[in-house]
Amino acid sequence: MKLAIVGTGMIAGEALKALQYVPQIETVAIYARPQSRAKGEELARQYGIAKVFTDYDELLREDLDFVYIGNINSVHYEYGMKALAAGRNLIMEKPMCSRSEQSHSLAEAAQKQGLYVFEALTFLHAPFFQQLRELIPQLGPVRLIQCNYSKYSSRYDRYLRHDVAPVFDPACDGGTLLDLNIYNLNFVLALFGAPMTVHYTARLGFNGIDTSGTVVLSYPQMVASCTAAKDSFSPCFDMIQGEKGWLRINGSPDDLEKLELCVGEKMQIIRISPEGHRMVDEFKAFEQIYREKDYEKMLHYLRHSLLVADVAQKALDCIPANS
């Protein structure tokens, strides 16, 4: 499977680290904006990538199977649609697109051509996640879910000085919901499906961007709260509470630690720290699905991504337009 990396930021570097553990995928090229060519060339030297492009259309004329879109949120749709038009399959860094209608448009275009579109979400493809599904019935009827991914941003001090990085820039479709809380939404929706209602209460910064906040998802017999922050920090966790017990995952999606299960008086601890790099499992899964031509399995994950996009859009719509 021949892959090109689009972007030279932190997540592109992390993806390249993970791909060293997936020999079935050959990274043949990297795209950098003209002003970032030096960063692209450094990544190419570091990871043995043969070609660096600053012209995206030229990159898409290469012999490629997939393009990994790892640049800022606001250009995911444009870059994704161009790749599909060139007949290339996609791996989209989360969020797939900034707006729900863009995600649906991208998915429709891919399906018309029989192309593959994957959204890169680490834990959905980790072995522990299937194990988690099998443990949940032991909890009895689930009543409450609490998710917290709070991580003080290395760029927040700059933001306080009004030096705005893309992750805090509305023009780049930044913000905490699409950067961190999207993990929490994926966790809840993958396990419990679509909620009845969605509400987002956010703390907004000087330029209207959400620097922290909580999404509340209501279900017929259950409530889930999804909290994330880039302006403060705390231990990260996912907690599922049922009538017969509780289950807690300690750690953030990029640094999982362990799973604790308590049913009645019985306590069980399961270590879930991934071996190697946290992104390895997803790349292995994508390669296997593509190699086995399991288009229906791809569609299963794509339908989930579209559900997350719809719920995220409802949450974003709760932010006042004139903020």
Nearest to 128 by CA among 209, 247, 15, 22: 247
The per-residue pLDDT for range 200-235, each reduced to its tens digit, is: 999 999 999 999 999 999 999 999 999 999 999 999
Please, which residues have CB within 8 angstroms of residue 293's CB and are 6 or more apart in sequence?
A: none
The per-residue pLDDT for range 69-89, each reduced to its tens digit, is: 999 999 999 999 999 999 999
Sign of the CA dihedral running 306, 241, 237, 19: negative
Across the chain, mean pLDDT equals 96
Structural domains for the chain = 2-120 (3.40.50.720), 123-277+294-316 (3.30.360.10)
The per-residue pLDDT for range 157-167, each reduced to its tens digit, is: 999 999 999 99
Instruction: Provide the percentage of residues in the chain whose pLDDT is more than 70.
Output: 99
Task: Look at residue 323 in the predicted model and tell me its pLDDT.
Answer: 54
CA distance 278 to 286: 14
CA distance 110 to 115: 5
Contact 261, 268 (CB under 8 A): yes
Give pTM, 2 decimals: 0.95
